[in-house]
Amino acid sequence: MSHILIENFDPLKQQKVEILSADGKIVNADLNPKLDQETLIKIYKTMTLGRVADIRAVQYQRQGRMLTYAPNIGQEATQVGAMAALNKEDWLVPGYRELNMMLYKGVPLENIYLYWYGNEMGSKFPKEARVLPVNIIIGSQIAIAAGVALAAQKQNKPEVVVTTIGDGGTSHGDFNEGMNFAGTFDAPLVILIQNNHWAISTPREIQTKAKTLAQKAIAAGIKGIQVDGNDVFAVYSVMKKATEHARSGKGPVLVEAVTYRIGAHTTSDDPTLYRSDEEVEKWRKRDPIARLKKYLIAKKWWSEKEDELLDAENNKYVQEVFAKVEKSGEVPLEDVFQYVYETMTPNQIEQYESYKEFLERGMK
């Protein structure tokens, strides 16, 4: 059980849940979830693997070996802390910047890399992971997640659905429509806003006049709470309470995790054109991985030597996975037709036949 009481943190008063400071010390012992060593090491290892996979992915894209990629650096605590709070049967309905979430939930890195490589097989996740495919259309995942949550409710299954969205996505109609729909039916849904301060080049302060994004829950008649997104303990505690609330039939919860996007929006973006180095450096000092590492070392649950070995292991593993992905070869154009729907529509069949005729003529 989480010690957090959502009612004690009013988003209108900008009351934010914080437990672990930037220097790795517990600052709110009453809210400390007291996670055991095994769980925290798993969380830390996932966060560090995600960081290495992220850095490598950007490198591969710059080398022309991967398609456009959306970096996650700086958001590891938000993503892994949220997934660590879920039960095995719970669902994740992602957007497109959720590499760490997928890793913790059981999606192989190979799948994730295949997706960004342009291979449709990348979206064929293990069923036991309970993760839906990536949603590139901003906000669409909220309505989808609301539907999945309502289906679980109708079938009397004790499942909670977690979906994520960025700060910019909360200005899209789909966000409000999906949240309102789920709230109306008390669906077991938790919406996690990854407030990373930038919607491509649009800063958070001109995205909305709302003082917090969590307060957008009030209009929908559901609970809302804001948390330090670089504090894995705080994210875990808030998400644990949010999922308990949703699972008990009390309705959805909107969680705003305040974090920062250290890298670019995607590899097609140049953030130096719209934000200062000073701002980025300020947030680097709040690095979620460094914060947890300090805590683990202070507890004597981790060491610098183990960290060096882990980094080498992560880099070796990531390179091996991508080498395997590259061996998959070029993606056949047929995938464009065959994997949009479960079965091709009459119009797609007609287009596919025309495509095959074009290829045959070319060969002659």
| pLDDT tens, position by position, 107-116 | 999 999 999 9
Q: Where are the domains of the chain?
A: 6-331, 332-364
Residues annotated as part of the active site: 261, 265, 274
Q: What percent of the chain has pLDDT over 90?
A: 90
The set of long-range contacts for 34-38, using a CB threshold of 8 Å and a minimum separation of 24, is: 35/84, 35/233, 35/236, 37/299, 37/301
CATH code, 6-331: 3.40.50.970
Q: What per-residue confidence (pLDDT) applies to 2? A: 61
Crossing angle of helices 109-117 and 37-62, rounded to 10°? 20
Q: How far apart are the first and last CA of the chain?
A: 69
Residues in the chain: 364
At 296, the pLDDT band (50, 70, 90 cuts) reads: very high
| pLDDT of res. 363 | 67
Residue 330's pLDDT band (boundaries 50, 70, 90)? Answer: confident
Grade residue 335 by pLDDT with cuts at 50, 70 and 90: confident
Residue 345 makes CB contacts below 8 A (sequence gap 6+) with: none
Reported confidence tier of residue 364, pLDDT bands at 50, 70, 90: low
Is the pLDDT score of 336 beyond 70? yes
pTM higher than the cut 0.85: yes
Query: Which tens digits make up the pLDDT trace of 7-24?
Result: 889 999 999 999 999 999
Nearest to 9 by CA among 25, 24, 31: 31
State the average pLDDT for the chain: 95
